[in-house]
Each structure stands twice: as C-alpha cells, then as structure tokens.
Amino acid sequence: MAYQTPDQDSGSDPKTPTRLYNPYKDLEVPIRNLYQLPTSPEYLFVEEARRKRRSWGENLTFYTGCGYLSGAVGGAASGLVGGVKSFESGDTAKLRVNRVLNSSGHAGRAWGNRLGVIGLLYAGIESGIEATRDTDDVWNSVAAGLGTGALYRAARGVRSAAVAGAVGGVVVGVAVTAKQALKRYVPI
C-alpha cells in the first residue's frame, strides 16, 4: 500500500479526556491495539469548538430586532385600543378605520424605535463588558442592564439616569434568574 505507516495511537488533543479501548479483546489473538477514545463529543473544526455563544454582531442584530419587533407589535396593540376608545358618535366607517390606523401606526412606530434603541444599547454594552472581562456570567448581563438604563435616561439628568439604571439592573437580573430557573425546571 502507498501509506505504510506504523500503527499507533491516534494523536488526539491532550486536553481531551480519553479512555482506552481494545476492539480485539474478544479475539484471542496476539495483536494488542489500544485506541484512545474521547469521553465527550469531539469537534471537527477548532473554531466551532471555541465558539460558545453568539458573536457580538449576531447579538446586536438579535436584541435590536427582537426589541423593535416586540415594541412595534405592543405599541400597535395599545394604539388600537386607544383608537377604538376615541371613536365619536358621528364618525363614518372610513373615519373610524383611519383613526385606528393612525393611532396604531404612530404608537407602534414610537414604541418600536424606543425598544429597538434599548436593545441596541444593551447588546453593545454587554458585548463590551464581556470583551473587557473576558468571561461570561450573570453579572455581565446585570451590569449591561444597569448601563443601558443609565445611558438611555442620561439626557434627563443624573437622578433620572440613576433610577433608570437601577430599574434596568433589577429587570435584567430578574430576567436572567427566570431564564435559568426556566432552563432548570422546565424540560425543553
């Protein structure tokens, strides 16, 4: 054969925990080939193994998109309710439809922009904190929430920024705790 290589143990990653395995153990032959088998799934591509979570760009897109979409939908719903409440007795059907559409569009757009900006700030701050600390845990998220709230209300004064930061930190802490509890107690 073209590849007359001596048979030896496969050169696996030394950090990977392995166990020895002998496929000939049931055969009474003098051949003794012990192979090292990994005890955890072995990645083919090193960059896939190194990647544990979404990249900062994906995170930015994800949080901004989710924020804008949820804000737009919620705002449109509240605008719909407000539009229905503001009906007058002499309105025609066309006027009522126009009132509902105006109210929904305006409120949806306003709330969508607001939550989109909050998502953008949160994702950016969290990615920055993670890059700075080089670790990934709950405190990154809480600090990101606090920073987001403070930055969002910074133009309105120091007191308003402090209150918003506290609210942001508490909300994110509750969200992360709820997510971990959900992941632990709800089988998915």
Whole-number Å distance between alpha carbons of 37 and 21: 7
164 with 153: CB under 8 angstroms? Answer: yes
With contact defined as beta carbons under 8 Å apart, do 59 and 126 qualify? yes
- 29 vs 93 by CB, closer to another protein: 29
Distance CA 164, CA 154 (A): 9
- Does residue number 156 form part of the binding site for another protein (CB under 8 A)? no
- Which one among 30, 41, 90, 187 touches another protein, defined by CB under 8 A? 41
Is residue 56 a contact point for another protein (CB under 8 A)?
A: no
Q: Select the span of 32-40, 100-108, 151-159, 167-175 touching another protein (CB under 8 A).
A: 32-40
Q: x/- contact string, 102-131, with another protein (CB under 8 A)?
A: ------------------------------
Closer residue to another protein, CB minimum distance, 37 or 174:
37
Under the criterion CB under 8 A, does residue 186 sit at the interface with another protein?
A: no
Nearest alpha carbon to residue 68 among 57, 56, 76, 78: 76
Q: What is the spatial distance between Cα 116 and Cα 122, in angstroms, rounded to a whole number?
A: 10
CA dist 133 and 121 (Å) reads: 18
Binding site for another protein (CB under 8 A): 1-5, 7, 9-12, 21, 23-24, 26-28, 33, 35-45, 48, 51-54
